[in-house]
Chains A and B, each alone.
Chain A
Amino acid sequence: MFKTGMKELDKLLGGIREHAYILFHEEDPRSLGRELVFRFIRYKLENDNLMGIFNISYSLPFLLEVMCKNGIDADSYLDSLNLAIVDTFGSFYGPRIRRRGVWYLPGSPSYELLSRKYAEVVRAHKELWAEKGMFSGRELWGVAVDVSEYIRIFGEANTLSYFEISAEVRRQHEAYRRYPAGTNIWVFSGDVDRVFSSLYRRVDYVFRTRSVLTEDGVTRYLYVLKAPGLSDIPVFEYRITKDDVKVKRT
């Protein structure tokens, strides 16, 4: 079981199962759910784990700036290879920035070919991890920010189709069979739709962040909507400070 770094949450769940799929739903931007994801990335990298970020919604300079704002020294983790960034946004719209640890999908990506192209670059980076013996003793995480962008790019029906095909590709491709498979977080933002429902059914864990603005200010909640063995919905209140995330069960 892997830790999330949020003590109260880890206490409740006992951690996250290795190879699990997690859907992380930032319901509204004010909830700063994405910040929780970046803090999680920071926590895992600071503990010398392996992290692949699938960057779907940001230009790379924007993503790097946001990581920097969240206390992640992306440059050093890219150099050490602990961090790999698959720059989907740049693959679609450019620019393609040549840099160690940053990968682009070849050709012009379409939803039919996307999962195979992903598998190819994932294999390429995993080869590096294997050559350097980096798998041993480290957790391997994949974080996609954010998958709701696919709906804007491909439309709802094609996005559904992409996710259905990609699961098959992951089952068969050597990137996932020959090398260790990761534990994955799919970040989804905004209103729920059929893509959300489909992902919800597919994954093992679902978290949702929501903010409420009252007279006194903003309160942020984290809901555990789905987790193995859980029936009720535990709710946490959280506060994000410069170097910490404080989480408390309500």
Chain B
Amino acid sequence: MNYSALIGSIHRNGVLTVIARGAESNGDLLGIKLLKELLKLKEPIFVALYEPLLVFRSNLANEGIMLEDVLGDDFWILDVFGNFKGIERDIPHVYQMSGYLDDGVFVSKYGEMMKGLSKSLSSERVWFFSYLSSGACKLFSMPRRTYQIIWNLKMEVEEYLPDIRSVLVYDSADCPELEDYIYTISDVVVEAVKRGTRRLAYITKGGEAVFDPFGGE
């Protein structure tokens, strides 16, 4: 199973999720591989970052991608982690939310930002990438409710962005309470697991396959 085939399996408004079964599965790195593949498409990418920016940056660097090189009008990051932790940065194309944040305030600011962004994008198709969706459980006080309400935003920007394709990366060990939502909304699910000393990836929804997650591109 190559990465471009996985990306190709995402249809209009479709969702592909990589579920890492614990950090040791390296499932998050499979997610980074898919992001690398997305970059080749030269289409707008929006990253919702629930983990520290520095962690994201170093994992990208290990794949040969320099974050500063890819940030631009077609590559945006919402630094959810940094915003909740009050980490101020001044990096172009990395969104900051100023002031007090809780779940509800976050959702409304997120909505305003998405509306602004959606009107400014020239492309009808945009890729949404999350690293990691499971971070919601570390940042939100009501992760299930907030996760659902964030989905409402999609409806609000539909007019401008009729085709949002998502690649979500999620660690089930960090946030088991969102797994049923993740499975339900995803068209394709790839589970990354560690079995003894091997790492395997399984397509468990939207197809059937077992493959070596890092076995060549």
Query: Which residues of A are interface residues toward B (Cβ below 8 A)?
Result: 26, 29-30, 32, 34-35, 57-59, 61-62, 65-66, 69, 89, 93, 95, 152, 189-190, 211, 213, 215-218
B178-197: contact bitstring with A at CB < 8 Å (1 yes, 0 no)?
A: 01111111010101010100
Q: A29-B179, A32-B205, A217-B210 are in contact. Are A61 and B184 (CB under 8 A)?
A: no
- Cα–Cα distance between A102 and B33 once the two chains are bound (Å): 42
Q: A59-B152, A61-B152, A61-B155 are in contact. Are A189 and B204 (CB under 8 A)?
A: no
| Contact call A30/B152, Cβ cutoff below 8 A | no
| Contact call A218/B180, Cβ cutoff below 8 A | no
Q: A30-B191, A189-B180, A213-B193 are in contact. Are A66 and B210 (CB under 8 A)?
A: no
| Contact call B180/A65, Cβ cutoff below 8 A | no
| Contact call B183/A29, Cβ cutoff below 8 A | yes
Nearest Cβ on chain B to A63's Cβ, whole angstroms: 9
- Cα–Cα distance between A218 and B193 once the two chains are bound (Å): 13
CB closest chain-B residue, reference A189: B180
Partner of A61 from the list B154, B195, B204 (CB cut-off 8 Å) is B154
Contacts A213-B202, A215-B210 given; 5 further ones with Cβ under 8 A? A61-B154, A62-B148, A66-B184, A93-B145, A93-B149
B160-182: contact bitstring with A at CB < 8 Å (1 yes, 0 no)?
A: 00000000000000000001111
- Cα–Cα distance between A216 and B189 once the two chains are bound (Å): 16
Query: Inter-chain contact count A-B, CB under 8 Å?
Result: 66
| Contact call A29/B180, Cβ cutoff below 8 A | yes
| Contact call A34/B204, Cβ cutoff below 8 A | no
Query: Residues of B contacting A29 with CB < 8 Å?
Result: 179-180, 182-184
Query: Residues of A contacting B113 with CB < 8 Å?
Result: none
| Contact call A89/B148, Cβ cutoff below 8 A | yes
Query: Residues of B contacting A152 with CB < 8 Å?
Result: 144
| Contact call B209/A58, Cβ cutoff below 8 A | no
Q: A58-B148, A59-B149, A61-B155 are in contact. Are A217 and B185 (CB under 8 A)?
A: no
Query: Residues of A contacting B100 with CB < 8 Å?
Result: none
- Cα–Cα distance between A35 and B210 once the two chains are bound (Å): 22
CB closest chain-B residue, reference A61: B155
Partner of A26 from the list B180, B185, B191 (CB cut-off 8 Å) is B180
| Contact call A217/B154, Cβ cutoff below 8 A | no
CB proximity to A under 8 Å, residues B61-103: none
| Contact call B151/A62, Cβ cutoff below 8 A | yes
Nearest Cβ on chain A to B17's Cβ, whole angstroms: 11
Q: A152-B144, A189-B180, A190-B180 are in contact. Are A30 and B149 (CB under 8 A)?
A: no
| Contact call B148/A59, Cβ cutoff below 8 A | yes
Query: Residues of A contacting B217 with CB < 8 Å?
Result: none
| Contact call A218/B204, Cβ cutoff below 8 A | yes
Query: Residues of B contacting A59 with CB < 8 Å?
Result: 148-149, 151-152
CB closest chain-A residue, reference B104: A93
- Cα–Cα distance between A30 and B13 once the two chains are bound (Å): 22
* Residue from A61, A89, A95 whose CB has the most chain B CB atoms within 10 Å: A61
Query: Residues of A contacting B183 with CB < 8 Å?
Result: 29-30, 32, 34
CB closest chain-B residue, reference A152: B144
Nearest Cβ on chain B to A149's Cβ, whole angstroms: 8
| Contact call B180/A34, Cβ cutoff below 8 A | yes
Query: Residues of B contacting A189 with CB < 8 Å?
Result: 180
Nearest Cβ on chain B to A187's Cβ, whole angstroms: 10
Pull 25 A–B residue pairs with CB atoms less than 8 Å apart, ordered by A: A29-B180, A29-B183, A30-B183, A32-B205, A34-B180, A34-B183, A57-B180, A58-B148, A58-B181, A59-B152, A61-B154, A62-B151, A62-B152, A66-B184, A93-B145, A152-B144, A190-B180, A211-B204, A213-B193, A215-B195, A216-B210, A217-B202, A217-B209, A218-B204, A218-B208
